Amino acid sequence: MAYEGILLGMGNPLLDISAVVDEDFLQRYDIKLNNAILAEDKHLPMYDDMSSKYNVEYIAGGATQNSIKWMLQVPGATSYIGCIGKDKYGEEMKKNSKQAGVNIHYYEDETAPTGTCAVCVVGGERSLIANLSAANCYKSEHLKRPENWALVEKAKYYYIAGFFLTVSPDSIQLVAEHAAANNKVFTMNLSAPFICEFFKDALEKFLP
């Protein structure tokens, strides 16, 4: 019980759809191995295509959620907030995260599909194609709801990847200010060079 809710993460939840595929699949969707890209329109059909043709594994992912799942591995010790869609991939995300012992409070967007990341494996090498979709739709109004803000108040440590700056900087600001006012530990990472380059002003708000 001493660990319950001690760590809260907020970020961009993506359902990893992982499968061993063949060269034909790579060529059909113009995929290069040992690469990580954001999905273009030409890639959008591939997620259902993978699910129907190959033996896929579903894993609740995204940078922050992956970290939250593995940091403590004590059921109920970690909580996580982010946005998913109301669809079959969202249901897979919920099931997988709960199995990992994470207390999830997703905002479920009715207009966008759950974010996905195709993990295409060939000969031990892999390529990642991320489609953010609903992960981009998180709103701070969800964070302010009493049942969700209670997670913020209960936690003593916070972890938010820099990627979330592109989605809901006002949500990060709320948590950062709460942490500072209550002498709690607020942690972020920079995630990628483009965060420092294009979101420097937002990032600098949290540093104090």
CATH of the domain at 178: 3.40.1190.20
pLDDT at 1: 66
Structure tokens given for 175:
């948590």
- Whole domain around residue 58: which residue ranges? 7-206
Q: Is the pLDDT reported for residue 72 higher than 90?
A: no
Residue 147 lies inside a defined structural domain of this protein: yes
Residue 150 lies inside a defined structural domain of this protein: yes
Residue 184 lies inside a defined structural domain of this protein: yes
The pLDDT-based confidence of 50 (bands split at 50, 70, 90) is: very high
Average pLDDT over residues 148-162: 97
Residue 1 lies inside a defined structural domain of this protein: no
Residue 176 lies inside a defined structural domain of this protein: yes
Spatial neighbors of 65 by CB under 8 A, at least 6 apart, are 9, 11, 13, 14, 80, 82, 97, 102
Instruction: Give the pLDDT confidence of 89-139 residue by residue, as tens digits.
Output: 999 999 999 999 999 999 999 999 999 999 999 998 999 898 999 999 999
The percentage of residues in the chain with a pLDDT greater than 90, rounded to a whole number, is: 79
Residue 106 lies inside a defined structural domain of this protein: yes
The pLDDT-based confidence of 198 (bands split at 50, 70, 90) is: confident
108 closest CA partner among 92, 80, 87: 87
pTM, two decimals, is: 0.86
pLDDT at 34: 87
Residue 23 lies inside a defined structural domain of this protein: yes
Residue 107 lies inside a defined structural domain of this protein: yes
Cα 25 versus chain centre, distance: 26
pLDDT at 129: 92
Instruction: Give the pLDDT confidence of 52-69 residue by residue, as tens digits.
Output: 999 999 999 998 999 999
The pLDDT-based confidence of 145 (bands split at 50, 70, 90) is: very high
Query: Count of domains in the chain?
Result: 1
